[in-house]
Amino acid sequence: MTLAIESLDKLLTPQGVVPQQGAVWLVGAGPGDVELLTVKALRLLHCAEVVVYDRLVSEAVMAEVPESALCIDVGKQPGQHGLKQAQINQLLIDLACSGRDVIRLKGGDPFIFGRGGEEMVSLQQAGIRCEVVPGITAAVGCAAASGIPLTHRDCAQSLRLITGHGRSGEPQLDAAAVAAGNQTLVFYMGLSWSASISAQLQAQGRDAETPVAIIENGTRPDQRVLITTLAGLAQTVAQEKPVSPSLLLVGEVVRYYRADLQVGALARVAAC
């Protein structure tokens, strides 16, 4: 059952009895493919009472939530505002205080650009029991689903996960951190700032021909992979208009991408 935010007051109004406090599980929903949920996440979802979920959680994952559970959508569309973070924090506290066990379901991993840390601290400060269940983060899911290794002994000795969206919009990349060529850079939330990211990386000496993959809807049935270069990134985005969620993967490892290999096809035929 999906619950509108406006109906929450009624749900949270005490009915005369002091309820026993519930707990909150911050659960990673992975990048979309339901088979990438952890066993623990799936077990928790199957017995969920209340699920507070984000825009990034896929329909396939939500389909695992029992009909009887209350589902509260607190998601933000890019450029729009859902509930503010402080309101989400308060909602989790109020639900737990009203005696409910809550699954806080977040795309990918709760602790990677998911503001899971803020929610955990707020719950701890309110004295509410909280457990974190990791999920497969978008970088790892998208890499696997496109056949692009994130590290490789020949060309990528390290991996950096970077937010492509600064506090006030345009990201200010750490020049020293992004300059070295033998690393893979993965930008989350970077689509709308791709021109700036490309210009900053080239200004730091990254070769204009460095390959870039834009992975849209990674691990989902409508996944799309666009291959370009740092120099061509802005134009590819303008022409192909990839939509959210999309990840930018920058580095020599992108050369391992082979459109003809259809990564994921084996998983589809291995239905056992």
Binding site for ligand SAH (CB under 6 A): 31-32, 56, 106-109, 112-114, 137-138, 142, 188-189, 215, 217-220, 244-247
In the complex, the smallest distance separating the C-beta of residue 98 from ligand SAH, rounded to whole angstroms, is 27
Instruction: List all residues 6 or more positions away from 141 whose beta carbon is below 8 Å from its beta carbon.
Output: 30, 31, 32, 33, 36, 108, 218, 219
Q: Tell me if residue 187 falls in helix, strand or coil.
A: strand
In the complex, the smallest distance separating the C-beta of residue 154 from ligand SAH, rounded to whole angstroms, is 25
Instruction: List all residues 6 or more positions away from 53 whose beta carbon is below 8 Å from its beta carbon.
Output: 29, 62, 71, 72, 73, 74, 75, 104, 105, 106
In the complex, the smallest distance separating the C-beta of residue 195 from ligand SAH, rounded to whole angstroms, is 16
Nearer to ligand SAH, 96 or 145 (CB): 145
Nearer to ligand SAH, 91 or 112 (CB): 112
Nearer to ligand SAH, 44 or 112 (CB): 112
Catalytic site positions? 54, 76
Number of neighbours of residue 67 by Cβ within 10 angstroms: 6
In the complex, the smallest distance separating the C-beta of residue 30 from ligand SAH, rounded to whole angstroms, is 8
Alpha-carbon separation of residue 113 from 28, 139, 192, 249 (angstroms): 12, 11, 16, 16
Q: Residue with the closest Cβ to ligand SAH?
A: 108
Nearer to ligand SAH, 58 or 122 (CB): 58
